[in-house]
C-alpha cells in the first residue's frame, strides 16, 4: 500500500512564477487498486505521479510504501517499488542498446548492478516468452537495436520492461497519448492484460473520459493541485461521461455551454 499524507509542493516558491502544484494531497493507494487520474492541463496529474516516483520531494507531507517512509528517497531508490511508463515512447527505452540489453537492464530494476554479465544467456528464454506475449514478433529480434522500432513497439516494450520485476505500483503518465489511435488501443489492451494478469496496483493518467470510466476500479479528478473527486467501485461503474464533464466544469465554476462540443 502507498500513502500520501498531506503532501504539498510549490514550484519556484517566492518568485513571480510561483505555482502551488500539490495542495494537501491525501491518498491511500490500496493493493490491487487501478486508479485512473483525470484533470485539465496544469491540474497536477503528472506532478502527483512525479511526486510518488520521487522526481522531487514534497515541501511538506509524508509518502510511504508498505508503511516504509520513502519521503526523502531519491527517484532511483524508489524505483525498487515503483515503475513508470512515460508519455514519450522514446523515454522508456534505450535506443542504442538492443531489445535484449534493454530487457536485461529492466530485469535488474532496483537490484544491485555488479560485474556479472549484463545480458545473461539463461535469460534469453524468459525474454523471448515475454516478448512473444506482445504479439509483435519482437521475440525474433532480440539483437535489434531499439532505435529501429516504431513508437508503438517501443511503448509496448516499455510496458514489458516496467513489469519485468513486479512493482508495488505502476505509474502510467498518459502513456498512449503520443500514439496513433490504433496503436494506442493496442497498448491500452496490453496494459489492461498485464495489470490483470499480475494483479498490479496502478495509476493511469488519461485525457479520455471514456477510458477513465471503463478502466480500473477507482477514479480521481484533480484540479489546481487538489483531489476534488474520488470515486470507486459501484459508484464509479455507473458514472457517465456527462457526469464527469459536469464535475469538471463545476470545479472550474464554468458553465456547461461547451458540453456538446466537448462530447462530439
Which residues bind to another protein, rule: CB under 8 A? 53, 74-77, 79-80, 83-84, 86, 90-97, 101, 104-106, 108-111, 113-119, 161
Nearest residue (CB) to another protein, 120 versus 246: 120
Q: At how many degrees (to 10) do helices 151-162 and 181-198 cross?
A: 10
Nearest residue (CB) to another protein, 50 versus 206: 50
Nearest residue (CB) to another protein, 52 versus 219: 52
In what helix (H) or strand (E) does residue 236 lie, and over which residues does it extend? helix 233-237
137/85 Cα distance (integer angstroms): 21
Cβ neighbours for 259, distance < 8 A, ≥ 6 positions apart: 242, 245
Nearest residue (CB) to another protein, 34 versus 86: 86
In what helix (H) or strand (E) does residue 243 lie, and over which residues does it extend? helix 241-252
Nearest residue (CB) to another protein, 98 versus 251: 98
- 204 near 172, Cβ under 8 Å? yes
Q: Rounded to an integer, what is the distance from CA 95 to the centroid of its chain?
A: 21
| Alpha carbon separation from 117 to 120, 122, 202, 216 (Å, rounded) | 6, 11, 32, 39
85/175 Cα distance (integer angstroms): 6
Nearest residue (CB) to another protein, 55 versus 239: 55
Cβ neighbours for 68, distance < 8 A, ≥ 6 positions apart: none
| Residue 59 beta carbon to another protein: minimum distance, rounded to whole angstroms | 20
> What does residue 36 show for φ and ψ, rounded to 5 degrees?
-95, 140
Nearest residue (CB) to another protein, 107 versus 206: 107
Q: At how many degrees (to 10) do helices 151-162 and 99-106 cross?
A: 30
- How many other CB atoms are found less than 10 A from the CB of residue 22? 28
248/88 Cα distance (integer angstroms): 26
Amino acid at each position: 500500500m502507498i500513502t500520501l499524507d498531506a503532501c504539498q509542493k510549490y514550484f519556484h516558491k517566492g518568485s513571480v512564477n510561483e505555482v502551488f502544484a500539490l495542495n494537501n494531497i491525501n491518498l491511500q493507494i490500496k493493493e490491487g487498486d487501478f486508479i485512473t487520474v483525470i484533470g485539465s492541463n496544469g491540474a497536477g496529474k503528472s506532478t502527483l505521479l512525479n511526486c510518488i516516483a520521487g522526481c522531487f520531494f514534497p515541501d511538506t507531507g509524508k509518502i510511504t510504501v508498505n508503511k516504509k517512509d520513502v519521503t526523502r528517497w531519491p527517484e532511483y531508490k524508489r524505483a525498487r517499488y515503483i515503475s513508470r511508463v512515460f508519455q514519450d515512447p522514446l523515454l522508456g527505452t534505450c535506443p542504442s542498446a538492443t531489445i535484449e540489453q534493454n530487457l536485461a537492464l529492466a530485469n535488474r530494476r532496483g537490484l544491485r548492478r555488479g560485474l556479472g554479465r549484463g545480458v545473461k544467456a539463461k535469460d534469453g528464454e524468459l525474454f523471448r516468452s515475454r516478448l512473444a506475449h506482445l504479439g509483435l514478433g519482437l521475440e525474433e529480434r532480440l539483437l535489434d537495436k531499439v532505435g529501429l522500432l516504431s513508437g508503438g513497439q517501443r511503448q509496448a516494450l516499455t510496458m514489458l520492461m516496467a513489469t519485468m520485476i513486479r512493482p508495488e505500483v505502476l505509474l502510467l503518465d498518459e502513456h498512449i497519448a503520443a500514439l496513433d489511435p490504433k496503436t494506442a488501443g493496442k497498448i491500452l489492451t496490453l496494459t489492461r492484460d498485464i495489470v490483470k494478469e499480475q494483479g498490479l496496483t496502478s495509476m493511469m493518467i488519461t485525457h479520455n473520459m471514456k477510458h477513465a470510466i471503463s478502466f480500473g476500479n477507482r477514479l480521481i479528478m484533480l484540479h489546481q493541485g487538489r483531489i476534488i473527486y474520488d470515486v470507486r467501485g459501484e459508484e464509479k461503474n455507473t458514472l457517465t461521461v456527462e457526469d464527469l464533464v459536469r464535475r469538471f466544469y463545476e470545479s472550474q465554476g464554468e458553465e456547461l455551454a461547451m458540453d456538446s462540443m466537448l462530447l462530439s
